[in-house]
Amino acid sequence: MRMALDLAQAAADAGEVPVGAVIVDETTGTVVATGANAPISGHDPTAHAEIQAIRAAAAATGNYRLTGLTLYVTLEPCAMCAGAISHARIGRVVWGADDPKGGAVIHGPRLFDQPTLHSRPVIEGGVLADASAESLRAFFRARRTGTRDA
């Protein structure tokens, strides 16, 4: 999760909402792929950190199914990312800060609770939640005030 926080900071430094993601093979301890938010710079509304990491992991493994891997992300995934996580068959999702407005795992549509999903990961929220939430608060505070304290 600390690596995901570093990626979130890099996203913030690039003017993107600070969200970072890391996909790990827990059996070997290997980082398979990473991602950071890039919708603004990439002119791509789907370029969320999770999607970036999933795309990179699929390319790295040569398989669109990422069964058994763990996704660490600094913010509870949105509906789009939760759907991609399910389609990729990621085995476990760990996130930092909850997202009551845009989250779709324990908030909103609670996507992984839907009976029509083909794959449901094990979920764990709240890992380094304070650091993840503070990163987001600092980013948006700086945007509101025109300062850069993030």
> Per the domain annotation, does 80 fall within a domain?
yes
Asked whether residue 149 is domain-assigned, the answer is no
- CATH number of the domain bearing residue 118: 3.40.140.10
Does 107 show up as a binding residue in the annotation? no
Answer whether residue 19 is part of any domain.
yes
Q: What is the pTM of this model?
A: 0.95
Q: Which residues contact 60 (CB under 8 A, 6 or more apart)?
A: 32, 33
10-residue block means of pLDDT along the chain (150 residues)?
98 97 97 98 98 98 97 98 98 98 97 94 97 96 75
Q: Which two tokens stand for residue 18?
A: 């600070």
Q: Residue 56: which domain range?
A: 1-143
* 48 marked as binding residue: yes
Q: Per the annotation, does 81 bind a ligand?
A: yes
Q: Report if residue 148 sits inside a domain.
A: no
Neighbours of 101 (CB within 10 A): 9
Residue 106 located in a structural domain = yes
Q: Identify whether 13 is part of a domain.
A: yes
Domain count, the chain: 1
Q: 56 in a domain, yes or no?
A: yes
Catalytic residue among 26, 50, 124, 134, which?
50
Residue 50 bears catalytic tag: yes
- What is the structure's pLDDT at 74? 98
